[in-house]
């Protein structure tokens, strides 16, 4: 029989190794040191059979940017069950226990990036953000009505990057639902750290700071993968993240990336769906954009989550929410300038996972209903709910955790 519980401090490493076995990986000493600052026994759940760990999951401690604010969020990660124990209920038990633990900690949301997208809908997670893959051919890039190069790009080392980048990121995050908080450990050990075994044949990390009129206007973190063919360079820039605070800064930051010597391509898995770049270049096809799922979101406490976000219209709708896993969530909620439970008739009804897809503004209720993911019970309710939940920009999560 499989038992699910929080591991003790001495059990943490063996439990994490079970998850690594599920992914066919092993942990380097540097990985263990990094994770010790982010994974704790009380924020972990392990599955055991006869005292042996057969599965593991954990929850990083985040604040997730939501419309009008930020909420404590369980960043679900490290989820895995060893191959010999698949299809025996361990994943379901760990997932439900993790959600209940998050509720006890006062985290109204849980979020994750799915290794397999087909898994998490059955646990109430909904697709909340989209992400774009970019594989751009640098020699095909030209800018529309190009004023010519502006500003200065400097390569900065770790300490200066840590001084410059976090405040800039926080300014961007404050305006963008879906982005995660980053504490000192996260910046130092995750975003800026340069572990050699994680380079995958590419260079060290480079940190580029863009300045316009003497002020930081954007930054990029990237590696370069060296490649040659018949005596000609065909290297690629592997971009981890790039942020800019204006259209001009976007143009100049990408101008720099497209012009790095001995490279012919720029690639990233986290291109922003709202970036102005596709409208700034002459040939959008040269960007070779492909869409994929991004952040998956779970409303752990519907009432708290709905109360915490802002709404874009002066209106009210009653939403009926179904949730088969967490018994405190099902019910009807009056949503608008005031959020509360109600016994009034519902204007629309949907599953907890589909409400999560709408929560950050990523998908309208009309789009959900068009995919049979919502039921309109009062004429016009879908449009009214969509107006309430609308955001100026689509949500965006620029990193996997």
Catalytic residues: 120, 401
User: Could you tell me if residue 304 is left (phi over 0), alpha (psi between -120 and 50 degrees) or otherwise beta?
Assistant: alpha
Take residue 266 and report the two structure tokens written for it.
Answer: 């720029």
Among candidate residues 242, 218, 251, the one with its CA nearest the CA of residue 142: 251
Contacts of 362 (CB under 8 A, 6+ apart): 127, 128, 129, 130, 178, 394, 395
Q: What does the angle CA 220 – CA 224 – CA 227 come to, to the nearest 5 degrees?
A: 155
CB count within 10 Å of CB 185 equals 12
- Measured between alpha carbons, how far is 352 from 355 in angstroms, rounded to an integer? 5
Which helix (H) or strand (E) segment is 58 a member of?
strand 52-66
Helices (H), 218-301: 247-258, 277-280
How far apart, in Å, are the Cα atoms of 206 and each of 12, 191, 193, 240? Answer: 33, 12, 11, 10
Q: 210 forms bridges with which residues in the sheet?
A: 153, 218
Q: Are 394 and 130 in contact (CB under 8 A)?
A: yes
């Amino acid at each position: 029989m499989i038992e699910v519980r929080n591991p003790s401090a001495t059990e943490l490493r063996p439990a994490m190794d079970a998850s690594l076995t599920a992914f066919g990986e092993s942990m380097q000493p540097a990985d263990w040191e990094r994770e010790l600052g982010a994974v704790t026994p009380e924020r972990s759940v392990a599955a055991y059979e006869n005292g042996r760990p057969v599965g593991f999951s954990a929850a990083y401690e985040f604040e997730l940017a939501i419309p009008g604010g930020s909420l404590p969020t369980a960043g679900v990660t490290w989820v895995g069950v060893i191959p010999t124990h698949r299809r025996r209920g361990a994943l379901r038990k760990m997932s439900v226990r993790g959600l209940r633990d998050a509720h006890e900690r006062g985290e109204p949301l849980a979020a994750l990036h799915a290794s397999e997208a087909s898994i998490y809908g059955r646990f109430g997670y909904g697709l909340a953000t989209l992400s774009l893959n970019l594989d751009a051919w640098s020699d095909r890039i030209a800018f529309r009505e190009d004023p010519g190069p502006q500003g200065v790009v400097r390569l900065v080392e770790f300490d200066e990057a840590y001084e410059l980048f976090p405040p800039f990121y926080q300014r961007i995050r404050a305006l963008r639902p879906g982005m995660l908080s980053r504490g000192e450990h996260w910046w130092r050990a995750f975003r800026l750290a340069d572990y050699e075994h994680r380079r995958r044949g590419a260079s060290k990390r480079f940190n580029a700071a863009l300045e316009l009129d003497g002020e930081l206007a954007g930054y990029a973190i990237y590696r370069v993968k060296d490649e040659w063919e018949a005596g000609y360079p065909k290297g690629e820039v592997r971009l981890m993240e790039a942020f800019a605070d204006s259209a001009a800064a976007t143009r100049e930051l990408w101008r720099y990336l497209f012009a790095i010597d001995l490279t012919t391509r720029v690639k990233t898995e986290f291109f922003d769906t709202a970036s102005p770049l596709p409208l700034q270049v002459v040939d959008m096809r040269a960007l070779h954009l492909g869409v994929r799922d991004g952040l998956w979101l779970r409303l752990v406490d519907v009432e708290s989550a709905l109360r915490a976000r802002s709404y874009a219209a002066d209106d009210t709708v009653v939403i009926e929410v179904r949730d088969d896993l967490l018994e405190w969530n099902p019910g009807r909620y009056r949503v608008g300038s005031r959020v509360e439970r109600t016994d009034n008739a519902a204007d629309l009804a949907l599953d907890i996972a589909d409400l999560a897809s709408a929560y950050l503004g990523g998908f309208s209720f009309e789009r959900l209903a068009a995919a049979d993911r919502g039921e309109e019970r009062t004429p016009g309710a879908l449009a009214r709910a969509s107006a309430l939940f609308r955001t100026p920009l689509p949500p965006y999560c620029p990193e996997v955790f």
